[in-house]
Amino acid sequence: MSDTLLAAVVAGVLCGLLGLLVPRLLAAVPEPAPKDDPVEPPADGTLEHASVEVAGPAEEPKPLYADLAARPRLGALAALVSLVSGALVGAATGWDWPLVWLVPLVPVLVALSYIDWHTRLLPRLVVLPATLLAAVAVVAVGFATDERDALVRALVAMVAVRSFFWLLWFVRSAGMGFGDVRLAALVGLVLGWVGWGTVAIGVWVGFVAFAVPGLLLAVVRRDRSLLKQAFPFGPFMALGALVGLVWGPALSRALWG
């Protein structure tokens, strides 16, 4: 068995097993404070919401995380998606150190995508610890293997991608929430270790995957109001990261040499 195939099998199996724990992760996430509670806003003025509601009729109450976790076949579905994604990442990465942080991050991103899709929230109590642990692993591996260039690039990309998303949020917060900004740091970190071309491909694919279906739906229905509605962006960021990790190096070489 080649190293590539071995990495794909091991990463896929481990990610699939961790994916079975996604319902437990969801059930453990605390509910956000109700909007009408007299709680003080965060010191930095940020919101927990991953996307902001546009003016219109009152939205339905957010599903409880515990209810989402209890939905039938969630564990099996999360395990399947994690297994396939992990196998793709393992095949692209090979039997190499990045699997140390990529394997646990795959089911975490599956869980975050599921949460964001159903609630338009990206809980910071999941995003921030995942980012911190991934950064610690990247720094440890960077120093242990003397991959200083990859380490510096990963950390710079983390700051750069987060800053780019922060700028988008600052300019038009109605179209993007601060949860997306937090998740952008994690995406930049894992893509930056591979290369700047991978960062560009991963971020670009996320935006294209988010924009094109909505645009086509608006054209088919001839309803411009669909373009003003808020949709969860987290799942598309995760998809862009996956595409960047798996096909980003080849695509960037084809585009920029």
Inter-helix orientation angle 74-93/234-256, to 10°: 20
151 vs 36, residue with greater confidence: 151
- pLDDT (tens digit per residue) in 73-112: 999 999 999 999 999 999 999 999 999 999 999 999 999 9
42 vs 82, residue with greater confidence: 82
- pLDDT (tens digit per residue) in 180-194: 999 999 999 999 999
- pLDDT (tens digit per residue) in 200-257: 999 999 999 988 876 766 666 666 665 566 678 999 999 999 999 999 999 998 888 7
Structure tokens at 191: 């893509």
Contacts of 142 (CB under 8 A, 6+ apart): 148, 150, 151, 154
Domain spans, the chain: 3-256
Inter-helix orientation angle 148-171/124-144, to 10°: 160
What is the phi/psi pair of residue 256, to 5°? -120, 0
Structure tokens at 179: 């949860």
Angle at 82 between CA 142 and CA 160, to 5 degrees: 40
Q: Which of 60-64, 131-135, 153-157, 238-242 has the lowest mean pLDDT?
A: 60-64
Q: What number is the average pLDDT over the span 36-40? A: 44
